[in-house]
Chain A
Amino acid sequence: MKVLVAGQAKGPVIKTNHPINFLGTVDKKSGIISDKNHELYNKSIKDSILVFPSGIGSSVGAYTIYSLKSNLTAPLAMICTKADLTVATGCALANIPVIIISNEEFQKINDGMNCSVDTNSQNLIHYE
């Protein structure tokens, strides 16, 4: 496990096996995924612990993450299996904790479970 952006958060997990392109497929006002082909289509990522493989697409997507936070529609934390610079810098701008985990760890997390993230504690992620 690796911490990209430090912090604490607690909330329900929204999990997808699809990568997320923040530029153009996430509605900034509502936090709803607008890409019809995405597993999370029509779902809001607001106030969630968002668990997904990685971000994809233009690095300008980092501004979208910042906008989500300004609009109070951002996830509380993000957990990925691969570090990509769009998510890393977007969450750094917005001050949203980001943790990188292994594929095995990723398998253990289920959609809908409650989870807390604390980058100061020994177990970075705690499931309830």
Chain B
Amino acid sequence: MELTRDEELSLKGEHGEILQMAYRILVATGEATDAEKLVPVEWSHLSGVNYNTIGDAGEEFLSQISREAKVKIRTTVNPMGFDFDNVQNYDLDDNFISKQLSIKNSYEKMGVIPSFSCIPYEIFDIPKSGTQVSFAESNAAIHANSYDGLKTNKESAFSALASALTGKSPFSSLRKNDEPNVTIKMKIENPNELSYGMLGFFAGKVGNTSVNISGLGTLDKRQSKAMCGGMGTSGTCAKIIFGDGSSECEEIDFDKKEMQTIFDELNTSEKGDLITLGSPQLGLDEISDLTAKLKGRSFKKRCMIFTPRTVKEQARKIGYLNELERAGCEILSDCCTCLSPLINKESVDSVTTNSIKGAFYLKNSNGVGVNLKSLLDIIEDETN
């Protein structure tokens, strides 16, 4: 890999140990992915915030580097494990809470924007088209590449952190060009967000770094987020190109049979003890729509709703929050369905959700049963 003189000096440690480590990460990642150089990035979005995912080793590492490290570019962060506003309502042990607090403090000390959200594309301004960014949250990387005109690879927690500290990223893969290996033909009629989530999950399995998808109608926000979330969960693919692509691409149908296979893989329960909405977290549009759909109705069981703090505050001002609480919802910010320590198999057998991403992690990480249902069916079946 070719480095500029300044990058070389940083790698040698002339600008301190933190930058030396960050450049070591960029060079190791770049060499592993055949990058020829580093390019500037304007925004980094970090994963590795939830104590559930990074554990003691991650907590100690962040605590150590935050004594000196400072982010150099706009840096936003993924959800953590819970919402400090209402964590006392959940049976969470003190060790988890104090370790999570330490992680939160370390990131804030480094100068990140405390977004604790997996939908940065919905709550921050999008830079101009073609801008290089470095997103470690998979659904956000896919959304950025496919809908927002930005360029990012599916970064790891470490490469995104190194980008945050240096403002650079290896020039490889999707930063250079798109070479979709496959075209998926969407054949499902009247799809809802669950169908799009499963389409994404299917695409993630068959796509390398990018895929063409044809036969898509106009997707609303809920549906496009579901598709990005599903895709990020099942593979390494980080970009959707809308349309047929070149004739050399292998073509695969996504029809009832393919969708059923995925449904059977992720749907393991006939019903759920509680409902979760939001993985990716819900934006204001979805909260507004949900409030309208719940008018005059109440949930018959617990319903946890995950949304960014900034959206929760807006929803409070507009009055949506009151309405949702009246309908029996628990509204949580700064965290997400996926990898939540608030749902565990000791107290919950199964969860109803409309999220494919949520379903995957509930099943594989939380070890609970999953009952997949579209939002309309959830409201139909679970409220009165």
A→B interface (CB under 8 Å): 2-5, 28, 59-60, 62-64, 66-67, 70, 83-85, 88-89, 91-93, 95, 98, 100
Q: B29 touching A85 by the CB < 8 A rule? A: yes
Q: How far is the CA of A98 from the CA of B28 in the complex (A)?
A: 9
**Chain B CB within 10 Å, residue with most, of A2, A83, A89:** A89
**Chain A CB within 10 Å, residue with most, of B21, B27, B32, B33:** B32
Could you mark each residue 138-165 of chain B with 1 if its beta carbon is under 8 Å from any beta carbon of chain A, else 0?
0000000000000000001111000000
Known contacts A63-B61, A67-B60, A93-B158; is-contact A5 B24 (Cβ 8 Å): yes
Closest Cβ–Cβ distance, residue B45 to chain A (whole Å): 15
Q: How many residues of B contact A (CB 8 A)?
A: 22
Q: B156 touching A89 by the CB < 8 A rule? A: yes
Interface members, chain B 209-225 (any A CB < 8 Å): none
Q: A88 touching B21 by the CB < 8 A rule? A: no
Q: B57 touching A67 by the CB < 8 A rule? A: yes
**CB within 8 A of A59: which of B27, B28, B31, B158?**
B158
Closest Cβ–Cβ distance, residue A58 to chain B (whole Å): 8
Known contacts A59-B158, A60-B48, A95-B21; is-contact A89 B58 (Cβ 8 Å): no
**CB within 8 A of A93: which of B21, B27, B31, B54?**
B21
Q: How far is the CA of A3 from the CA of B1 in the complex (A)?
A: 10
Closest Cβ–Cβ distance, residue A123 to chain B (whole Å): 19
Known contacts A4-B32, A60-B48; is-contact A89 B57 (Cβ 8 Å): no
Known contacts A63-B55, A66-B61, A89-B158; is-contact A83 B31 (Cβ 8 Å): yes
Residue of A nearest to B25 (CB): A92
Closest Cβ–Cβ distance, residue B359 to chain A (whole Å): 19
Closest Cβ–Cβ distance, residue A125 to chain B (whole Å): 16
Q: Which residues of A contact B27 (CB under 8 A)?
A: 4-5, 92
Contacts between chains A and B (CB distance < 8 A), count? 72
**CB within 8 A of B57: which of A3, A4, A66?**
A66
Q: How far is the CA of A3 from the CA of B56 in the complex (A)?
A: 30
**Chain A CB within 10 Å, residue with most, of B48, B53, B57, B159:** B57
Interface members, chain B 42-62 (any A CB < 8 Å): 48, 53-58, 60-61
Q: A63 touching B57 by the CB < 8 A rule? A: yes
B→A interface (CB under 8 Å): 21, 24-25, 27-29, 31-33, 48, 53-58, 60-61, 156-159
Q: B28 touching A5 by the CB < 8 A rule? A: yes
Q: Which residues of B contact A66 (CB under 8 A)?
A: 57, 61
Closest Cβ–Cβ distance, residue B63 to chain A (whole Å): 12
Q: Which residues of A contact B157 (CB under 8 A)?
A: 59-60, 62
Q: A64-B57, A89-B156 are in contact. List 10 more A-B contacts (CB 8 A).
A: A5-B24, A59-B157, A60-B58, A62-B156, A63-B61, A84-B32, A85-B32, A85-B33, A88-B29, A92-B158
Residue of B nearest to A59 (CB): B156
Known contacts A5-B24, A59-B158, A66-B57; is-contact A89 B29 (Cβ 8 Å): yes
Closest Cβ–Cβ distance, residue B256 to chain A (whole Å): 33
Q: How far is the CA of A23 from the CA of B57 in the complex (A)?
A: 10
Q: How far is the CA of A4 from the CA of B28 in the complex (A)?
A: 4
Known contacts A60-B48, A60-B58, A66-B61; is-contact A92 B53 (Cβ 8 Å): no
Q: Which residues of A contact B24 (CB under 8 A)?
A: 5, 92-93, 95
Q: A28 touching B57 by the CB < 8 A rule? A: yes
Closest Cβ–Cβ distance, residue B339 to chain A (whole Å): 11
Q: B21 touching A60 by the CB < 8 A rule? A: no
Q: Which residues of A contact B159 (CB under 8 A)?
A: 85, 89
Q: Which residues of B contact A88 (CB under 8 A)?
A: 28-29, 31-32
Q: How far is the CA of A92 from the CA of B156 in the complex (A)?
A: 13
Closest Cβ–Cβ distance, residue B198 to chain A (whole Å): 24
Q: B61 touching A93 by the CB < 8 A rule? A: yes
Residue of A nearest to B156 (CB): A59
Q: How far is the CA of A3 from the CA of B156 in the complex (A)?
A: 20
Q: Which residues of A contact B53 (CB under 8 A)?
A: 60
Q: How far is the CA of A59 from the CA of B57 in the complex (A)?
A: 13
Q: How far is the CA of A95 from the CA of B25 in the complex (A)?
A: 9
